[in-house]
């Protein structure tokens, strides 16, 4: 699809310029880190279907707080330790998962679980002014 041209009158892609805007929340003295959410390969969206599959649950049975080893060290944490994540809206307790793939100022938590394991309870409800989508990816 679109190998030779795009489905526009002139056949070219129309890419609008969007002005960068800082996130609704950025780190402060009280909340010094970024929290971001996302997917893991073993689950899909809310996990309502994939969490019913034994093999997939064995691969990733629960959410975790992925963080850089240097960040974990600052807080005296080791791989697999329980950590309480707190934002202005809520908190949750999950195990740490240390990896150098995550920025040193950021904690990543997958969003495929509900109730007390739903990380989106921690995220910022601030809406994008154009799409009206909540800022689930950064707080």
Q: In the prediction, which pLDDT does 51 show?
A: 80
Q: What angle do CA 116, 121, 127 make, to 5 degrees?
A: 165
CB 31 within 8 A of CB 88: yes
- Residue 67: its pLDDT value, please? 98
Q: Specify the pTM.
A: 0.84
Task: Give bridge partners of residue 24 from the DSSP assignment.
Answer: none
Q: pLDDT per residue over 37-61, tens digit each?
A: 998 888 877 777 888 889 887 888 8
DSSP H helical ranges for the chain: 54-59, 69-74
Q: Give the pLDDT confidence score for residue 107 in this predicted structure.
A: 98
For tokens 């969206």, the residue is 45
End-to-end CA distance of the chain: 37
Judge contact between 107 and 67, C-beta under 8 A: yes
Q: What is the pLDDT of residues 58-109, one digit of tens each?
A: 888 899 999 999 999 999 999 999 999 999 999 999 999 999 999 999 999 9
């Amino acid at each position: 699809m679109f190998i030779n041209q795009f489905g526009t009158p002139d056949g070219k892609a129309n890419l609008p310029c969007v002005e960068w805007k800082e996130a609704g929340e950025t780190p402060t003295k009280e909340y010094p880190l970024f929290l971001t959410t996302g997917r893991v390969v073993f689950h899909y969206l809310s996990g309502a279907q994939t969490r019913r599959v034994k093999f997939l649950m064995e691969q990733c049975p629960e959410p975790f707080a992925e963080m850089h080893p240097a960040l974990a060290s600052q807080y005296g944490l080791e791989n697999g330790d329980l950590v309480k994540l707190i934002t202005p809206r809520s908190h949750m307790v999950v195990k740490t998962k240390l990896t150098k793939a995550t920025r040193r100022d950021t904690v990543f938590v997958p969003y495929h679980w509900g109730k007390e394991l739903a990380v989106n309870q921690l995220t910022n409800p601030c809406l994008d002014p154009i799409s009206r989508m909540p800022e689930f990816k950064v707080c």
